[in-house]
Structure 1
């Protein structure tokens, strides 16, 4: 299993977050094998055993997307074993995943985020301005959580009004910065230098103990502030990414440009945001069509 994780890291170049998900899924299946079938080796599990595990996941009422991901993790692992000659056939080929419920990306209204920044009382110290910058960067660039926490000081180019992010598959992309973000970044960098004059960390975001920022901290910050302006159940950093894309599309941005800004590999992944704009399309239709 450790060889598989190294394969994901060095050959497939998956992000640390994705590899952690694979590790969680495979270890959970391993625990199931040990508890129910008294088996230690995943290589001896057949499709019937794997199907029984999927059934238990459904009975636990796990989200269908979570179950899909866990099945995908097993498929990748057993495919790896077959490719390495450690297994003759892939037992997951006969496994059918439950149907996915089609969910539109959650986002917050444009005026709600403006209200959040204008009315929230961010403290003027390093911590308060760090929290504000986290929100502004996630919404202002549409970057992923992992891209935010791995940002380096050298990735910021205030003179060119751009920043460089390292996305999935170690793919780099350049993102533009608006005037508000440039001001927020400049102020944060000054506070960072004043607060930690001897800090040698290359990371843009650091904790109060001068260590690189961790994902759970970002989750807490986003949930803390979004909950003040939105009643939606989802208050994760990804909601700000969805909001970024939806608001751009609502204001007439080209879908291909949004795809490049988000770092999507294909346009199909970006097209889901067109559904969020149906109300705007209806309004345009009613206003412009002779028969509307």
Structure 2
């Protein structure tokens, strides 16, 4: 299978009255800013320029305040406004480096608080239904069952699951060796049930899928490595088959892993280590999910709730 080239986004068309943004675009290219970020910055600046009549390079602190107020009136989200501020910061940094401006009218403007989005929650019953959905009498179904078992048992990122190699899994001792974000390695317990399904897959299914020399653990029907997109399609297909109504995401099983551990009393720092988060603040988002569950249980069972 040929590797697809990454899609390069279509360049943003700069209006004639904002032709000075061409110099900013060239500056971003010279700074090796990605095409996606360049386009986002230019689009945001064009949108911001429609909010006030003043010439953008001459904007004052008050002009930027007026722009932020107008964006808020238009119903833009805090995240969208924060991105516009980032574009303005980059633009005025460019003007200062070009000696066009000496001051920074954006400096006093603080980025809006975005908050942390709660991960999609999936009940333990839904997880069980999803895991049991594949037809394990087929090679692909057995593979999918083993993948779901590993994903839920270990809380892996989808990319970590798909890139698992045979030398990274130790069924005798029951753990995986994972290299996550930032090239950081961690050992993750696999669990007895997941070990059994992986062993069954290795004996009964993988030999049928094996077409050419590869040490990847989970193979496609053509003997290659599965893409994130195909795995996402598989999750959606099995969820539909299992009658799961909850909204899913590619990280559904990872979120369920963390949430269910906390529901059953796991320490937050242990969950942090298992997920491979370098900062505890990243893991703390799951405490909100657990607190909702605790409140529900309190209201249901406490005699004075």
Fold match by TM threshold 0.5 = yes
Question: Is the Cα contact below 8 Å between 2:206 and 2:218 reproduced in 1?
Answer: no
CA deviation string 1:197-217 (max 9, x = no partner): 553112112222212211111
Instruction: State the secondary structure of the residue aligned to 2:278.
Output: coil
Correspondent of 1:231 among 245, 254, 265: 245
Q: Structure 1 residue 42 and structure 2 residue 22: aligned?
A: no
Q: Structure 1 residue 263 and structure 2 residue 283: aligned?
A: no
Distance 1:130-1:61 versus aligned 2 partners, 3 A rule: farther
Distance 1:109-1:197 versus aligned 2 partners, 3 A rule: closer
CA deviation string 1:91-141 (max 9, x = no partner): 9976876653653211210112123334x2514222111221222222221
Whole-angstrom distance in 1 between the partners of 2:139 and 2:250: 21
1:216 aligned residue = 229
Instruction: State the secondary structure of the residue aligned to 1:32.
Output: coil
Question: Is the Cα contact below 8 Å between 1:165 and 1:173 reproduced in 2?
Answer: yes
Question: Is the Cα contact below 8 Å between 2:146 and 2:198 reproduced in 1?
Answer: yes
Correspondent of 2:119 among 105, 111, 128: 105
Whole-angstrom distance in 1 between the partners of 2:115 and 2:164: 34
Deviation at 1:248, TM superposition (A): 0.4
1:11 aligned residue = none
Cα RMSD between the aligned structures?
4.2
1:195 aligned residue = 208
Correspondent of 2:180 among 164, 167, 175: 167
Distance 1:64-1:242 versus aligned 2 partners, 3 A rule: farther
CA deviation string 1:44-66 (max 9, x = no partner): 479x956425659x899998658
* Structure 2: unaligned runs, 5 residues or longer: 29-37, 51-70
Q: How does 1:1-292 map to 2 (within 5 A)?
A: 28=9, 31-32=11-12, 39=22, 42-44=25-27, 49=42, 51-53=44-46, 100=114, 102-118=116-132, 120-196=133-209, 199-227=212-240, 228-233=242-247, 235-282=248-295
Whole-angstrom distance in 2 between the partners of 1:201 and 1:259: 32
Count of residues paired in the alignment: 257
Question: Is the Cα contact below 8 Å between 2:127 and 2:253 reproduced in 1?
Answer: no
Question: Is the Cα contact below 8 Å between 1:256 and 1:267 reproduced in 2?
Answer: yes
Distance 1:67-1:247 versus aligned 2 partners, 3 A rule: farther
Whole-angstrom distance in 1 between the partners of 2:207 and 2:118: 43
Whole-angstrom distance in 2 between the partners of 1:231 and 1:263: 29
- The structure richer in helix per residue is 1
Instruction: State the secondary structure of the residue aligned to 2:177.
Output: strand
Deviation at 1:226, TM superposition (A): 2.5
* Structure 1: unaligned runs, 5 residues or longer: 1-19
Deviation at 1:169, TM superposition (A): 0.6
Whole-angstrom distance in 2 between the partners of 1:161 and 1:252: 22
What's the TM-score, normalizing by structure 1?
0.70
Question: Is the Cα contact below 8 Å between 1:255 and 1:271 reproduced in 2?
Answer: yes
What's the TM-score, normalizing by structure 2?
0.67
